[in-house]
Chains A and B, each alone.
Chain A
Amino acid sequence: MIEVKNIGKTYKTGDIEYQALKGISLTIKDGEFLAIMGPSGSGKSTLMHILGALDKPSSGNYILDGKDVSEYSEDELARIRKQKIGFVFQSFNLLPRTTVLRNVMLPLIYAGVPKGEREERAKMALKAASFEESHFLNLSNQLSGGQIQRVAIARALVNNPSLILADEPTGNLDTKTGEIVLGTFQKLNSEGHTIVLITHERDVAEHARRIVFLRDGVVLSDELNKNQVMAKT
């Protein structure tokens, strides 16, 4: 359960102040599939950074699973990320020249999961992300774009996070592969995972069950998506 209360974020470059977020309030319940949409400059990346505990709000409160984390230190935020957040990036960010399995196990190392458990959990996450078992030991640079993004999804899943944050996950993929990835998110959501999808494309946002539209740092609209598009897989 995520509660964002009247969050503002101001960047300072020298004497110039730039208000990226101007008082955003949002509640995300467990098991939701939410798309945050908006053109560039709308503040959606800033909001994602705050939701993902990569950054702190300048004002307002961010309550994650009942705890106000708005004033946490950088190391405390790192601990929140390893326990509660899974990231999927537009540019995938897999470790190069490293096996699929080791990439997925990486968050477990930082979370202090015992060595014996890691491989089993990584395999389960890969299966949940519909990644073919025969490629588990392939190196990350031997995979196709769709395969890479499913490894990244498995990596986001492996810690059983409260929230999976996907930042333009289809931005570097062709339409067909993008559909497969979105289908994976829908499948995971149907299994109970909370997913927040950040995108500037309406076609992509339509796959979510709720769409929040940002512009110039404020919420323009926040409504259930009655015409949820199911991915063609």
Chain B
Amino acid sequence: MVQQSPVLVVVIPLIFAFLIFIFGWWRRGICYPITLTAISLSFLASLLTLNTVITTGTIHYRLGSWEPPWGIEYVVDHLNAFVLVIVSLVSLIAAISSKKSVEKELNEKTVFFYSIFLLQVTGFLGIVITGDMFNLYVFLEIASLAGYALIAIGEDGAPFASFNYLIFGTIGACFYLLGVGYLYITTGSLNMADLSQILPNLYHSKVVLVAFAFFLVGVSLKMALFPLHVWLPDAYTYAPSPVSSLLAPLMTKVGAYIMIRIMFFVFKPYFSIELIPATTILVWMAGGAILFGAIWALAQTDLKRMLAYILVSEVGYITLGIGLANKNGLTGAILHILNDSFMMLALFLVVGAIMYRTGKREITGLRYIHRKMPFTMAVFVVAALSVIGIPPTCGFFSKWYLILGAIDANYWVPAGILLLSSLLNVIIFFRVIENAYLEPDEGHTGGTSETHIAIEEAPLSMLIPILIAGAGIMLFGVLSGKIVSTIIQFAIPSFV
């Protein structure tokens, strides 16, 4: 069982996605428990895998016992075991919270919804676990196609946003596939470990260089790295809330994972850092992402769209860490994959809960919301502080490593951008907090008249995930030292 855990992580949600289809016709109410079971099992399997990796080191799992490089191999090291756990845990939390909104918004489509939802999760997990370039493409497409479908079932404007995303996503996938093709032409291999052995002799080949460029562009499109982010805000704004709280935290992080994998494992760090200025380009693109994401977020009046732009900015943080390509920078990037997943999860869940209760998501329409939904808004504040980077929330610690990395690499301007973005986020979030908590139009002479707004919290199936996400933000902050010393420091490529 333990030995089979890597493949179970992916296979369980895949099989259950089709089981839902069968059982869903019989009884619609069963879809939700099946989904939860599937993702919980997958989460357990990924925890087992992480545990095995921590105790015994990298796992090589051969599908159908075919020898690599011919067969497909799953390779799990500290990096992807860590991301696996994040992906399955975040999916689980998002799935738990989906119950009420699905019942309310998508009742007739429940069966399809959960089926695609599980396929989406399968795609994410597959991308992360595989050790094969083409297999990665397959899962990337599963994830993307599921994503197009899920986004398209949203409100007015969603089909168009989804179509937009489809075009961008397909272009990205094409680039990636072309990259894989080029590598296959030159090396005859698709296995990542195998490629990293063969490629160093071919680093000066134009085909390999072009393949690398295609990879970078393709992945940047998938992870919405500035300036290729234009599909993201619409898609995540119009998507139904359970979908945006699954996609927003994970799609971009999985993209970031692919980027780290390709730049530092398939290609040697020497190639991406010294031979071509890929990392330098990434640093400046990331700087742009951080700044412009925050500035656009500032201009939004719609809370969900604002969060989408914050996400663009957060992708910048991770990319910046990757681009710094030193120990502290990558530690920050990998830590931020965890932290930002939870921050975005918490924020999108909160917006989902607010929309469920009030139907509104205009920032100015949030007045009195903290009396109606005190716990939800408390988590919003915690997540906001984390995005700003106030200790002891987790966002502070990834920022700490990123700035440390920027100073180590003598990148002073990006370090300044990181600091400046904290201040921009202060403005962005305190504008919301002011609207939600302060009630400037009233005289406050009679203090006892406070009780006229009754508490009307989100249903428990939404509130508990929100609270878990909020607790995670605090917990990962306090435990960040532990996380770095047990997992992340082994996940960093050995070039320092």
Partners in one complex: no
